[in-house]
Structure 1
Amino acid sequence: MKKGIALFLALMMMFSLVGCGAEAPAEEPAEAPAEEPAEAPAEEAAYKIGVMTGTVSQGEEEFRAAENMKEKYGDMIVLSTYPDRFMQEQETTITNMMAMASDPDVKAIVMVQAVPGAAAAIGRVREMRDDILFVLGVPGEDPDVIAEYGDVIIQTNDLARGSQIAQQAKDMGAEVLVHYSFPRHMSYEMLAARRDLMKEEAEKIGLVWVEQDAPDPTGDAGVPGTQQFIMEDLPRKVEEYGVNTAFFGTNCSMMEPMIRQTVETGAIFPVQCCPSPYHALPAALGIAVPEDKAGDLDYILSEIDSKVDEAGMDGRVASWSVPVNMMYVEAGVDYAIEYLEGNTNGKADAEVLTTIMERVADGEIVLGNYGNYDHYFLYLGAAVEF
């Protein structure tokens, strides 16, 4: 299973490099007692925090989140990016991280996504400095390898989502749960394991389980073929099983047509394959985001809620309350502040990290561990129903 998890995490990192969001809302620095986590430090902080993300073309959510941390904390935040072709240009990733670490005031580096090359870059930095805290989100290398380099590592707990998705569908009134995928995805051990856990939980709580093959978007028909199939098949499923049918798909290209048809037919949409209010929901619901509201999470959530209500779908569309990659950037920076201010119990303090992440998510979360590592955290987000 550990080998499967390692393969899945690496594959999911590759799938997740799609920009789904924009600039997150900035907050004004606030004076706060040191013991309160996730607040701005004193104005003249004796340290800096480096933040490395993908470019806006490859990972807009985390890129904008990094910009917001810069706006919130000012010169204390040092920004950098890894190259779009990170697999072929790992030396550039190393060079960029070394450049941040060359500033002796940089005492922590937050990297989201921790793409291949992160371990080598951290290794090079540690050859010249051992005083930097590394907070890594969405690791793209073998978990047992990256665990040797990161001080705090955060990854979405995709396996545990299996039972969570089934229960979410049930809570929203579903009687049937349809799982769309294709053989290539089901050949991935962890995607198959998540499907099996979803099926097991669905049957346990009384949902009718329906498994439906769809065209692979990498096949001859491409993404259009996959999307056309969802557009045509979902209404057939609703006609067959009724409006209390919930739909889940394993591929990002399925999400927009799935949401559109769910709303059109009055069915149930419990969550995206990659949970985020920005992922497919605004496009599927026809939400035009003004430039001054780009990345304003409260605005997006409010607009989604309004559109869902207008469609008479109150309580039948859901997602997670915050985009995970934006969460990892913001929580990573705030955790680094707490560590550098001396407010954590060692480098990996699960209690402090949970408090910060729950504040960012504005709700309860579940934080577990990968394997026997007490610094490698698996995150299960909080659902929000519209």
Structure 2
Amino acid sequence: MSKKILALLMLAVMLFSLAACGPQAEPAPAAPAEGEAPAAEPEAPAYKIGIMTGTVSQGEEEYRAAEKMKEKYGDMIILQTYPDNFMKETETTIANVLSMASDPEVKAIVIVQAVPGTSAAIDKVREIRDDVLFIAGVPGEDPDMIASKADIVFQADELGMGYTIIEQAQNMGAKTFVHYSFPRHMSYQLLAMRRDIFKSECERLGITFVDATAPDPTGDAGVPGAQQFILEDVPRKIQEYGTETAFFSTNCSMQEPLIKSVLEGGALYPQQCCPSPYHGYPGALGIEIPEDKKGDIDFLVGEITAKIAEGGGTGKFSTWPIPVNMMFVEGGVEYSIAYLNGETADKVDKAKVEEIFTEIAGSPITLGTFTNESTGNTFENFFMVLSDYITF
């Protein structure tokens, strides 16, 4: 055998050895059966949506609704919170909104509650990006200003509630109506206008209106101080005015102690500041919601009804059948998706908002638009929601 042939044989053996030890090729995917379409590759979301809410202590409903959206849509959702003491930490609120907008894939941001600092945060984002859809729920700023900054604003009909809450209190037999608030909230135009409606409606119906000042939860005593005040003051008010007294507070963190104190004192509670079976009632009444019952409104209403009955409060407590602030978070996300997918008639599509809210609430929701009686301005992007009551 010549040296040339021997060399070729040795080279062939080496190549065979390398091929045998190297990585094996993956088998080709099986061809689809006849008439069967090939499996589509899952597409990654083309965008992300940011959600900013309060913390659990200031607004658990919104926070849980944001978590629900994160669970539903995964990495497409980015979560942020604003600080509990947002009045003194406006820069933190702005920075947290900017941190979401710094991701170029974030194409929409939903903020509920839209606390002071939201308009400034939107302005800061607009300086660097003009492609972000902003949805603001439960605004705590001047309505004209927030309506000019956000693309869409959601608000429970605070002015309409000025009439319906007093009517509900009268239906319960109220002779006195106690309104707890503090200067910061009374600087919010809608809340101040509603307080004035409360007062005039009480005068019209012969109900004594009591304007009670409570500590601001963002003040030095914080949320615990404000809650302790309610626990101590409600019994004093009941002793002074009697059990035919209806109580209302403008602040979320006060609802649990208010419900607890009113039930213990045998008084009346027509509605929370943010009406919903979830708001204040479970914590005040010691209701544990099993994992398989989360989001089950009928279950919760049944539990609340039973607890209220045990405390002798049947017919004295009520709320809206829909968790309105949760609906704003979930509806804001679903509307953002519809808009970004090209499923809306325009950036502001009232019919689409109604469709989404109705699906979430499980009952028809009709929206109104806000007119500022002080300025005469009407905002087609500022949607007001009002609902009937359920009485426990």
Residues 95-149 of structure 1, C-alpha deviation per residue, up to 9 Å, x if partnerless?
4434433434322221222233333333333334322211111233333333232
* Larger radius of gyration between Structure 1 and Structure 2: 2
Q: 1:367 to 1:339 in 2, by over 3 A?
A: same
**SS of residue in 2 equivalent to 1:327:** helix
Contact 2:370 2:379 in 1 (8 A): yes
Q: Which amino acid is the alignment partner of residue 133 of structure 2?
A: L
2:325 aligned partner: 325
The partner residue of 1:212 within 210, 213, 232 is 210
* Bigger relative contact order (CA 8 A; separation at least 6): 1
Q: 1:92 to 1:228 in 2, by over 3 A?
A: closer
Q: Distance in 2 between matches of 1:120 and 1:187?
A: 21
Structure 2, unaligned runs of 5 or more: 1-41, 372-377
2:63 aligned partner: 63
2:247 aligned partner: 248
Residues 215-260 of structure 1, C-alpha deviation per residue, up to 9 Å, x if partnerless?
64469x9644553332143256446xxxxx3503335476556534
2:75 aligned partner: 75
**SS of residue in 2 equivalent to 1:377:** strand
**SS of residue in 1 equivalent to 2:168:** helix
Residues 144-192 of structure 1, C-alpha deviation per residue, up to 9 Å, x if partnerless?
333232111112332221101122234x443635334479699757555
Question: Is residue 307 of structure 1 aligned with residue 307 of structure 2?
Answer: yes
Contact 1:321 1:362 in 2 (8 A): no
Contact 2:287 2:303 in 1 (8 A): no
1:373 aligned partner: 379
Bigger shift: 224-233 or 324-333? 224-233
Q: Distance in 2 between matches of 1:264 and 1:82?
A: 34
Bigger shift: 128-137 or 97-106? 97-106
**How many Å apart are 1:269 and its aligned residue?**
2.4
Q: Distance in 2 between matches of 1:108 and 1:140?
A: 20
1:227 aligned partner: 231
Q: Which amino acid is the alignment partner of residue 46 of structure 1?
A: A
Once the two structures are aligned, what percentage of the paired residues are identical?
46
Q: 1:166 to 1:373 in 2, by over 3 A?
A: same
Contact 2:47 2:106 in 1 (8 A): yes
Q: 1:74 to 1:164 in 2, by over 3 A?
A: same
**How many Å apart are 1:330 and its aligned residue?**
0.6
Contact 1:151 1:347 in 2 (8 A): yes
Q: Distance in 2 between matches of 1:324 and 1:201?
A: 24
Contact 1:238 1:265 in 2 (8 A): no
Question: Is residue 140 of structure 1 aligned with residue 144 of structure 2?
Answer: no
Q: Which amino acid is the alignment partner of residue 65 of structure 1?
A: A
2:288 aligned partner: 289
2:348 aligned partner: 348
Q: 1:179 to 1:98 in 2, by over 3 A?
A: closer
Q: Which amino acid is the alignment partner of residue 75 of structure 1?
A: D
Q: 1:278 to 1:100 in 2, by over 3 A?
A: same
Structure 1, unaligned runs of 5 or more: 1-41, 240-244
Contact 2:122 2:149 in 1 (8 A): yes
2:47 aligned partner: 47
Q: Which amino acid is the alignment partner of residue 80 of structure 1?
A: Q
**How many Å apart are 1:380 and its aligned residue?**
2.6
The alignment covers a number of residue pairs equal to 336
Bigger shift: 149-158 or 85-94? 85-94
1:125 aligned partner: 125
Contact 1:256 1:283 in 2 (8 A): yes
Q: Distance in 1 between matches of 2:85 and 2:184?
A: 24
Contact 1:231 1:257 in 2 (8 A): no
1:174 aligned partner: 173
Q: Which amino acid is the alignment partner of residue 74 of structure 2?
A: G
Give TM-score, length-normalised by structure 2.
Answer: 0.71
Bigger shift: 176-185 or 275-284? 176-185
Q: Which amino acid is the alignment partner of residue 229 of structure 1?
A: D
Q: Distance in 2 between matches of 1:213 and 1:121?
A: 33
Give TM-score, length-normalised by structure 1.
Answer: 0.72
